[in-house]
A = this chain, B = another copy of it.
């Protein structure tokens, strides 16, 4: 015991089984997260103007972090510049919905396909838990909880693909439709069209059938599209 105290426990810090903590707790980061959340929740009506000073005042920070957050959201398409000095939350036009859906189809299909090869039993358990959460949220009429669990369900699959850049890109697409999803209640709650697609996706993952998972996700996207399309234009 203690036979060789000069021998270091670890040869370098890189060998420590720890993941670096990300200190992304700047006010700009918080403002970004907070504003994005509000947009996805549909707190702003489409076309509503956002000013730097108004956002700064609402978040109780100075103009700089507020401006950071707005510019960042413009960069990923969650907000748009509609004039020289006016940024608005973009209304979801039919054209935009068509384009976003076409991109979602290829991107989320890719993620789903690769996820099927990387799936673990633990992740499948979590997916089943999330699906039951969706069901009970719908039963309880808690629509926003159902939306949240639905998003968690999809992104748990996508994250399984271990393609972080892909996941980020998909996220930016969801932000653009997020606001409009809130208008779908209660139609979405009663129809429960997503449930069977999710069950099919889980079944495909369990049998590691990439094509089956991909088809289930694609159908889920198309079903959602049809509902959204009736609400725009």
Chain A positions within 8 Å of B, measured between CB atoms, are 23, 68, 71-72, 75-77, 84, 96, 99-100, 102-103, 106-107, 109-110, 114, 163-166, 168-169
Are A103 and B166 in contact (CB-based, < 8 A)?
yes
User: Chain B residues with Cβ under 8 A from A103's Cβ?
Assistant: 107, 110, 163, 165-166, 169
Secondary structure of the A contact surface, majority rule: helix
Looking across the interface, which residue of chain B has its beta carbon closest to that of A106? B106
- Can you list 13 pairs linking A and B with CB atoms under 8 Å apart? A23-B84, A71-B71, A72-B72, A75-B75, A75-B76, A96-B165, A99-B163, A99-B164, A99-B166, A102-B110, A103-B166, A103-B169, A169-B169
B99–A165 CB distance below 8 A: yes
CA distance A61 to B196 in the complex (A): 56
Give bound CA distance, A85 to B190, whole Å. Answer: 49
Residues in B neighbouring A107, C-beta threshold 8 A: 103, 106-107
CB distance from A91 to the nearest CB of B (A): 15
Residues of B with C-beta under 8 A to A106: 106-107, 109-110
A162 to chain B, nearest CB (A): 9
Q: How far is the CA of A28 from the CA of B77 in the complex (A)?
A: 18
Residue of B nearest to A96 (CB): B165
Known: A71-B68, A106-B106, A107-B106. A165 touches B76 (CB 8 A): no
With CB as the reference atom, state the residue of chain B lying closest to A173.
B165
A110 to B96, CA, bound (A): 16
Chain B contacts for A72, CB-based, 8 A: 71-72, 75
Give CA–CA (A193, B99) in the complex, Å: 32
| Complex contacts, A165 vs chain B, CB 8 Å | 77, 96, 99-100, 103
Q: How close is A41's CB to chain B, nearest CB, in angstroms?
A: 22
Cα–Cα distance between A153 and B38 once the two chains are bound (Å):
40
Q: Kindly report which residue of chain B lies nearest to residue A67, judged by CB atoms.
A: B68
A102 neighbours in B (Cβ, 8 Å): 110, 114, 163, 166
Identify 15 new A-B residue pairs, CB closer than 8 A, beyond the known A99-B164, A99-B166, A106-B110.
A68-B71, A71-B71, A71-B72, A75-B75, A75-B76, A96-B165, A100-B165, A102-B110, A102-B114, A102-B166, A103-B169, A106-B106, A106-B107, A106-B109, A169-B169
